[in-house]
Amino acid sequence: MYKTVYHASEMCPVGCGQVIYLEGVSNQKVFCYCTGCGIAFDNPDKAQWEAGVNEMKHIKDFSPEGIRYPNKEAIVAAGFGNHITDSDSGSHCYTEQELNEEHI
Ligand SMILES: [Zn+2]
């Protein structure tokens, strides 16, 4: 069972490609994450190629207790509703469990 994955950017500041949205399980903070370079971003503005790499944050800096893929309502509530560049079925992405096992 895959969840829809929403994109925050189509080119991360390092140049990997898509940046996706994640949400902290306990703090419900929505943030952005690049599966290519593993850098997490506070907001979609920082996740754009044009923004450049200004800080190196990781999933643990946002949510030490685990992550999940946020639904669209959570992304809108975080104020990023106008910054969804794309979405996909999640079938080729990491599962939430894989991300949690790797990073938490
Ligand atoms: Zn990247």
Contact 5, 90 (CB under 8 A): yes
Q: What's the gap in Å between 53 CA and the centre of ligand 1?
A: 10
Q: What's the gap in Å between 74 CA and the centre of ligand 1?
A: 23
Reference 20, options 63, 66, 59; nearest CA is: 59
Can you give the pLDDT at residue 9? 98
Residue tagged 């685990």 (tokens): 66
Can you give the pLDDT at residue 1? 66
Q: What is the pLDDT along the chain (104 residues), one digit of tens a residue?
A: 678 999 999 999 999 999 999 999 999 999 999 999 999 999 999 999 999 999 999 999 999 999 999 999 999 999 999 999 999 988 777 889 999 998 87
Q: What's the gap in Å between 42 CA and the centre of ligand 1?
A: 14
Q: What's the gap in Å between 17 CA and the centre of ligand 1?
A: 6
